[in-house]
Chain A
Amino acid sequence: MNDIATTAGNTHPMISMTGVEKWYGAFQALKDINISVAKGEKIVLCGPSGSGKSTLIRCINHLETYQKGEIRVSGTVLGHQAKTIDAVRREVGMVFQQFNLFPHLTVLENCMLAPLRALKLSRQEAEGRARQLLERVKIAEQADKYPAQLSGGQQQRVAIARALCMRPQVMLFDEPTSALDPEMVKEVLDTMIGLAEEGMTMICVTHEMGFARQVADRVIFMASGAVVEEAPPAEFFSNPKHERTRKFLGEILGH
């Protein structure tokens, strides 16, 4: 599988994207994306809507295809064969803006499904793992409820627990707080901060700049499908180099 045990002693980046390009027909959604994420690193991706940030992280677990370039996830080249795609998806957890919990399953069943089916764990193991992670996102007492009976913030925490039940090496967050009422944003961000503190490799598409300041190792700013600027948060916020970055920061921090 890991066909590229290249330079000895050199550990692979967890995720590397080289020259990734994507088109929707004539529209180019991603332009020459080169990003490398080390193990344990936390990246915040931001940019105006339509800038390609969601598309970019959705390429990492092959929810979107790309036409040029290469993506590697912990050394495995993400090809188009079902086998490598599934191998990568087992290592990469994702949390969506709309939660996307399975409405016909209870919270506990939501968390158990993928470990049972994709990892072939026993029911007992899967349930143990699910209860432990629900405990960790502080929602264990809701295990037997259905998603519709929970608040948005609780649902999103369940979604995080569900993804963690696969014991992924990387977590992708696609605007996890954008669909939440303001008073519920904090509980989700706190969960994400906890995860970051434990050393999870994370890529977060978010407009929560406070979160970026507190947690991110690097902030990547995208516009029109290309990476415009990439810097540690202190530098990114205090001394943005590009005009487009300054304009964007002015708009979201302006009041």
Chain B
Amino acid sequence: MGRDEFLFLLIGLKWTVALSAIGFVCGCLAGLVIALLRTSGMRPIERATAGYIALFQGTPLLMQLFVVYYGLALIGIKMDAWAAVAVGLTLHASAYLGEIWRGGIEAVPRGQTEASKALALSYSSRMKDVLLPQALRISLPATIGFLVQLIKGTSLASIVGFTELTRAGNIISNQIFQPLTVFGIVGMLYFIMCCPLTIYGAYLERKFAASAR
């Protein structure tokens, strides 16, 4: 495999990183909204968000990408592959992160809510100053774990014709007929992105377990 082929893979890698970043950042913002709605105490809203989460957790990411890319085109909303995949990953991430953080918010002891209410803090201050900092801390290992899933999940974008790392590998492999070498390198590149995150997540988990004692 020559230098040009490898550079082509790196361009694919760049898109994988970009897709992961967009999915994660937009997913975080939307997921925060989902988590807050899910814990709002208003029954119909809690039910609706629970349904939203169940829908995205209960169907394959690949199918979600298909629906956004082909399905929306059928009803007249035409997006290019790049935008469709970003939207699909954002929706997917928002559901998972919403659920992870819902768990985090609910894991903060009730006394924290009571104390902040007794101090006349408003809902937004209660969330921003008291509950979310603790909830996000509790959820950080799970959040990083999900980020790793998301990075690997971007490989499914290749199916709708988006040239990220996996599809770049496919193209090169078809050109030079060395699938083992090419996909070996592709796998290594994923590993280099994901493994440090996994190690970092495990480190945080140990650190929090120690500080909780």
* Residues of A bordering B, CB below 8 Å: 61-63, 86, 89-90, 92-94, 96, 98, 100-104, 113-114, 117-118, 148, 159, 162-163, 166
Contact = CB atoms under 8 A, between A and B. Distances in A.
A102 B118 contact: no
Contact of A104 (B114, B115, B121, B134): B134
A98 B121 contact: no
Given A103-B134, A166-B120, 14 more contacts: A61-B117, A63-B118, A89-B118, A89-B119, A90-B120, A96-B115, A102-B116, A113-B119, A113-B130, A114-B119, A117-B125, A118-B119, A118-B120, A118-B121
A165 to B, nearest CB: 9
18 contacts: A63-B117, A86-B120, A89-B119, A93-B118, A96-B114, A100-B111, A100-B115, A102-B112, A102-B115, A102-B130, A104-B134, A104-B137, A113-B119, A113-B129, A117-B121, A117-B122, A162-B119, A163-B119
A148 B111 CA distance: 15
B130 to A, nearest CB: 6
A46 B129 CA distance: 34
Contacts of A163: 118-119
Contact of B129 (A62, A96, A117, A148): A117
A113 B116 CA distance: 9
A166 B121 CA distance: 11
Contacts of A103: 134
B211 to A, nearest CB: 8
Contacts of A118: 119-122, 125
Interface of B: 109, 111-112, 114-122, 125, 129-130, 133-134, 137, 211
Contacts of B121: 113-114, 117-118
Contacts of A98: 109, 111
Nearest to B130: A102
Contact of B120 (A89, A102, A148, A162): A89
Contacts of B120: 86, 89-90, 114, 118, 166
A200 to B, nearest CB: 16
The 7 A-B residue pairs with the shortest CB-CB distance, nearest first, are A100-B115, A114-B119, A89-B120, A100-B111, A94-B118, A118-B120, A117-B125
Contacts, number: 64
Contacts of A104: 133-134, 137
A89 B114 contact: no
A86 B118 contact: no
Contacts of B130: 102, 113
A9 to B, nearest CB: 31
A59 to B, nearest CB: 12
A100 B112 contact: yes
A171 to B, nearest CB: 11
A27 to B, nearest CB: 20
B23 to A, nearest CB: 28
Nearest to A61: B118
Contact of A86 (B111, B122, B129, B133): B122
A1 B104 CA distance: 39
Contacts of A113: 119, 121, 125, 129-130
B117 to A, nearest CB: 6
Nearest to A62: B117
Contacts of B109: 98, 100
B111 to A, nearest CB: 4
Which of B109, B111, B114, B118 is the most central at the interface, judged by chain A CB atoms within 10 Å of its CB?
B118
Contacts of A100: 109, 111-112, 114-115
Contacts of B125: 113, 117-118
A92 to B, nearest CB: 8
Which of A61, A90, A92 is the most central at the interface, judged by chain B CB atoms within 10 Å of its CB?
A61
Contacts of A89: 117-120
A97 to B, nearest CB: 9
Contact of B119 (A62, A148, A166): A166
B137 to A, nearest CB: 7
